[in-house]
Structure 1
């Protein structure tokens, strides 16, 4: 691409105040793009000492200030958009409703699809900003596939930082307009580049969760004593509310046992937590609903792998159409632990993100 053509391309980049989006913006500027910074403001909670380390917490003012400082260093405009009402309706309400239904939500998946790649670019255009692509600091890639005749979503090159799991619900339009400047980089390279260019966030810790300080404040539920039982209903202990537990959880059960115990499931109607040993926690198959496929299953090849969690190494699976149009039947080559209703399962064929869905 010629230098003159580059200068005509405008890129809106989501800036979080962290090192990843900062280096992504730096790379785009160095490549000659006309870059515009945009930051979502999502926190509307009470003022409190900054804890940081999360997307939704009381350290947001510092993150916005950090993004503004970076933008000034790079010589690019920076805009802040108030997305707090939408975040509460789209992410927080969904999180609470799903959790209290005894399921395990994926707030980051929902936020990326509906807010970060949806609402944020939309608000930017509504206020008169013109741009050709939307970029973020995610460790993922896109490329044009001759086989499918369109852009496809791929895993990031760094297997330890790949974030394609969180992006599988992006629609075709969002993938077509997405840029991921860090897709071929490792985290170590990103931090080194940030330090070499004197970016003040080069050593800033990564976000560990979407909410700092635990979920109790978001759920806002008073303690409600209940039983922890085994698969036969035998009482093993007590708890202060089923919402303190998630399927697959091993630590924090407060039960002395000969073998480590895992949460098998929760029963909201009975305020009951069912626990069992490792073998009981394994599942051979599951059903996906609300699926989103980027390529047809029959054209993706026979070697499919899946992730149940973002940090999990992909495991071999078989995927077949389910009972309903939006469902898939998934069989694992080896039984898996922690198959939790409400969580996303993402399908891959090599580096290609085939699609995914919500575990029923």
Structure 2
């Protein structure tokens, strides 16, 4: 049996313990660090804002591998990342859609380009530090389940991967909680044991996507058209600065005042308008999806038990899913959900079993919302 494993090494504690566990399980690991992005300061020198993809992170990954006598390689995936993740994010924001770049990164990088390199190196497996679990179900085959650490579970961003690759994937951390992972690293004397956890995207170290858009695409940002800001009743109450500056549910930075807080409820790309309303106006009974991907074929789904998660760390809601043509679906929630956001992922589960998911294209409105907002 081929025991060679490509281990994705970020230079953090999770990937370091992943390598340790892979060794303990008797595999033959090869450490690889994906160079995805390189921020630069105004003078063109590499920025130190983000630990991810930094020289320090790559050096720590190599140091961990060297300590275990494991070969380590750095793979330059910057162009693939820019095209499939960064440019995708930019394009989506400029048409008023809020993307989830982590989903695209997993599809195109970890379960795309990285698997291509695994094949070149005759490695049957890849292992990552995701907090999720691989299991096997009779009649279905390999599946993904939530990690046991509810606060760290990352199965939500895995719905888009090729299900044929699940059986070649290893998630050693899925059976551990984050505190346990740090304790394992401390006990093993790993240099990464106390490295702070990354909370941001590697190309957005301060999480300010608006500033990133201005700096990454200055001409496009300057050319973006302002438009009308409307109430849910259709009255003009101000002007917006461009669709890229807003997301569904946004409260701050709207430039309007009133007796109660206002939130972005809807963005109309065709008419270039932004509709705002009260918090109660942001509860939606359903949504439409595109780009569906099934990790478990719908024929195996138990009726009446599907839970839909519409954002990371969402508690989930019981739902009915009606499949359409061309990888589309209509999802009806048991109870209205807050800030259903086009561009985000709707991900389906039965208990802890990941079924698949899709991209939200539209939030379904109630009769009351349609009556109030039929201008858009």
Q: Deviations over 1:188-234 (max 9, x none)?
A: 11111112212222222222232223223245213755443212333
Q: CA RMSD in A?
A: 2.0
Partners of 2:163 and 2:294 within 8 A in 1: no
Partner of 1:209: helix, strand, or coil?
coil
Partner of 2:174: helix, strand, or coil?
coil
Query: How many residue pairs align between the two structures?
Result: 346
Partners of 1:347 and 1:356 within 8 A in 2: yes
2:315 is aligned, of 313, 316, 319, to 313
- Equivalence map 1:29-48=2 (5 Å): 29-46=23-40, 47-48=45-46
Shift of 1:239: 4.1
Aligned-partner Cα distance in 1 for 2:267–2:290: 20
Is 1:105 matched with 2:99? yes
Is 1:137 matched with 2:138? no
Is 1:177 matched with 2:165? no
Per the normalisation by structure 1, the TM-score is 0.90
Is 1:162 matched with 2:157? no
| Residue equivalent to 2:50 | 52
| Residue equivalent to 1:336 | 337
Shift of 1:238: 4.1
Partners of 1:133 and 1:179 within 8 A in 2: yes
Aligned-partner Cα distance in 2 for 1:12–1:102: 38
| Residue equivalent to 1:11 | 5
Shift of 1:122: 1.0
Aligned-partner Cα distance in 2 for 1:52–1:310: 22
Partners of 2:131 and 2:155 within 8 A in 1: yes
Is 1:81 matched with 2:75? yes
Shift of 1:71: 1.0
Aligned-partner Cα distance in 2 for 1:301–1:107: 30
Shift of 1:49: 3.5
Shift of 1:286: 0.9
Per the normalisation by structure 2, the TM-score is 0.86
Is 1:208 matched with 2:199? yes
Aligned-partner Cα distance in 2 for 1:172–1:320: 21
Partners of 2:39 and 2:47 within 8 A in 1: no
Shift of 1:309: 0.8
Aligned-partner Cα distance in 2 for 1:124–1:133: 7
Shift of 1:348: 0.2
Shift of 1:269: 4.9
